[in-house]
């Protein structure tokens, strides 16, 4: 079956599969596990390329705005998960060093961040064509145990590979 998916959909399905394969995939018949694995593998190349591409853009952006010229080093209290200041053994507040964009570059920083976000959203919306092996969801559902860990949300994702 030929199917068009946006890059965002491919990323979402790939992330879902990472969790699904850890806890639930063994509940599926082996034949379906194999088909599902092959379908997901088709998308993983595009997903990995995008993540690498995005990481490069983010690193370039950080290099541009968080170097000595356009930002200052600041120190602020380090916080725990609840938002409370962390103290050392002597009771002193532990601080961490961060970079803060200088006021004269804040507008340019915000504008460039918005542009990058818009451009990345556009890339995520682009469609790619995949050739998937179909899964028969009705048959799959009939093989599940009564107390299966596979949930409706999982079946919803799996339905992307169902015969239409």
pLDDT tens figures, 42-80? 999 999 999 999 999 999 999 999 999 999 999 999 999
Other beta carbons within 10 angstroms of residue 164's beta carbon come to 6
pLDDT of residue 143: 87
Exposure b/e, 94-130, CB count within 10 A at least 16 = b: eeeeeeebeeeeeeebeeeeeeeeeebeeeeeeeeeb
Contacts of 71 (CB under 8 A, 6+ apart): 65, 99, 100, 101, 102, 105
Going by the DSSP 8-state scheme, the letter that residue 39 receives in this structure is: H
> What is the mean pLDDT of the segment spanning 109-120?
97
Longest dimension (CA), the chain: 67
| pLDDT beyond 70 at 164 | no
Mean pLDDT of the chain: 93
pLDDT above 90 coverage of the chain, percent: 85
The pLDDT confidence band at residue 130, using thresholds 50, 70 and 90, is very high
Q: pTM, whole model, 2 decimals? A: 0.78
- Tally of residues, the chain: 164
pLDDT band at 113 (very low <50, low <70, confident <90, very high): very high
Residue 163 has pLDDT above 80, yes or no: no
Give Cα separations from 103 to 46, 54, 97 (angstroms).
Answer: 38, 26, 18
What is the pLDDT confidence band of residue 146, given thresholds at 50, 70 and 90?
A: confident
């Amino acid at each position: 079956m030929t199917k068009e998916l946006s890059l965002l959909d491919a990323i979402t399905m790939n992330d879902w599969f990472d969790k699904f394969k850890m806890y639930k995939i063994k509940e599926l018949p082996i034949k379906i596990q194999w088909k599902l694995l092959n379908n997901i593998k088709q998308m993983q190349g595009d997903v990995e390329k995008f993540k690498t591409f995005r990481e490069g853009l983010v690193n370039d952006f950080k290099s541009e705005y968080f170097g000595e010229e356009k930002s200052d080093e600041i120190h602020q209290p380090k916080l725990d998960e609840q938002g409370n200041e962390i103290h050392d053994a002597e009771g002193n507040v532990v601080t961490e060093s961060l970079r803060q964009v200088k006021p004269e570059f804040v507008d340019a920083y915000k504008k460039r961040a918005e542009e990058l976000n818009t451009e990345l959203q556009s890339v995520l919306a682009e469609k790619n064509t995949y050739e998937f092996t179909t899964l028969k969801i009705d048959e799959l559902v009939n093989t599940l145990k009564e107390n299966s860990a596979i949930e409706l949300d999982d079946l919803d994702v799996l339905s992307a590979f169902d015969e239409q």
